[in-house]
């Protein structure tokens, strides 16, 4: 995959949010009349596009009947040894940033605290947060892999 594109109500807040996650802006540009940028980090590349007249997005995480793109997922297996500690550190970063600059940052919204899930032959440690526009972001670590075939 080349990238994931994210529409945002405020590109400056979105850039600041993703920078705290570890992304860096690699290029800024305009698309039509609106601001946009490429950001790279956590093993992936995202495109942020500011929407001039934003409307509230559907609640993809909370609405079990929602159909469409669900979330972005980042594999932290090689970068973190403990997802709960990683998430707590991230919450502290956002708490500090929101205290220092409440116009730009809000406390981190955790949608799902770290939990273990079995998906196919893998045991994952999984957590979800929301970005500045409410887009669900998943962070996971592979805990175990069981050989053999899985059923779908």
Q: Residue 65 sits in which domain range?
A: 4-145
152 falls within a domain: no
Q: Which two tokens stand for residue 1?
A: 């995959």
Kindly report the CATH number assigned to the domain that includes residue 97: 3.10.180.10
Does residue 105 have a pLDDT over 70? yes
- The number of domains in the chain is 1
- Global confidence as pTM: 0.89
What pLDDT was estimated at residue 111?
98
151 falls within a domain: no
User: Which among 58-67, 90-99, 141-150 has the top mean pLDDT?
Assistant: 90-99
* For residues 87-115, average pLDDT: 97
What pLDDT was estimated at residue 151?
53
Q: Which two tokens stand for residue 141?
A: 């670590």
140 falls within a domain: yes
150 falls within a domain: no
């Amino acid at each position: 995959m080349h990238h994931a594109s994210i529409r945002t109500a405020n590109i400056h807040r979105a850039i600041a949010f993703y920078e705290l996650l570890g992304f860096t802006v690699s290029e800024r540009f305009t698309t039509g009349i609106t601001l946009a940028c490429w950001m790279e980090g956590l093993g992936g590349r995202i495109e942020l596009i500011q929407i001039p007249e934003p409307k509230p997005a559907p609640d993809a995480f909370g609405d079990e009947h929602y159909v469409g793109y669900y979330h972005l997922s980042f594999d932290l297996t090689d970068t973190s040894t403990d997802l709960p500690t990683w998430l707590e550190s991230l919450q502290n970063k956002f708490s500090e940033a929101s205290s220092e600059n409440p116009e730009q940052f809000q406390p981190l919204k955790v949608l799902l605290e770290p939990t273990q899930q079995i998906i196919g032959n893998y045991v994952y440690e999984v957590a979800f947060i929301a970005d500045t526009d409410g887009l669900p972001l998943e962070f996971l670590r592979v805990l175990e892999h069981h050989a053999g075939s899985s059923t779908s």
